[in-house]
Amino acid sequence: MSTMNISLPDNLRTFVDEQVTRRGYSTSSEYVRELIRREQDRLRMRDLLLAGAASKPGKPVTGKYFHDLRDRVRKGVKARSGA
């Protein structure tokens, strides 16, 4: 793991320290890593949504589609559990 040093104004440093205490993080680094992971997730979701919006329309979804999907999921669960 590499190290990165950042400079924060006093009010932001105080905020980070408060969040570490309130949310139960061990260190400020742990808190910042969590914020960065959330931002990565948010950007991935944004990219997926934009890709979906730009894609061609699919087939209409019907009740049969959901019925078949439930059956496939149930069969997959049974197969993995050995039932």
Domain presence at residue 1: no
Please indicate, yes or no, if residue 5 is contained in any of the structural domains. Answer: no
For residue range 6-50, what is the model confidence (pLDDT) as tens digits? 999 999 999 999 999 999 999 999 999 999 999 999 999 999 999
Q: Is 62 inside any structural domain?
A: yes
Cα–Cα distance for residue pair 72/78, rounded to 1 Å: 10
What number of other Cβ atoms are within 10 A of residue 67's Cβ?
10
pLDDT at 83: 60
* Residues 64, 76: Cα–Cα separation, whole Å: 18
Q: Is residue 2 in some structural domain?
A: no
Q: Confirm whether 43 is domain-assigned.
A: yes
Domain extent, residue 14, equals: 10-81
| Residue 3 belongs to some domain of the structure | no
Are the C-beta atoms of residues 13 and 6 closer than 8 Å to each other? Answer: no
Question: pTM for this structure?
Answer: 0.67
Residue positions counted in the chain = 83
Q: Is residue 75 part of a domain?
A: yes
Least confident span in 29-38, 49-58, 59-68, 70-79: 70-79
- Please count the structural domains in the chain: 1
Averaged pLDDT, 56-69: 92
Task: Assign 76 a pLDDT band (cuts: 50, 70, 90).
Answer: confident
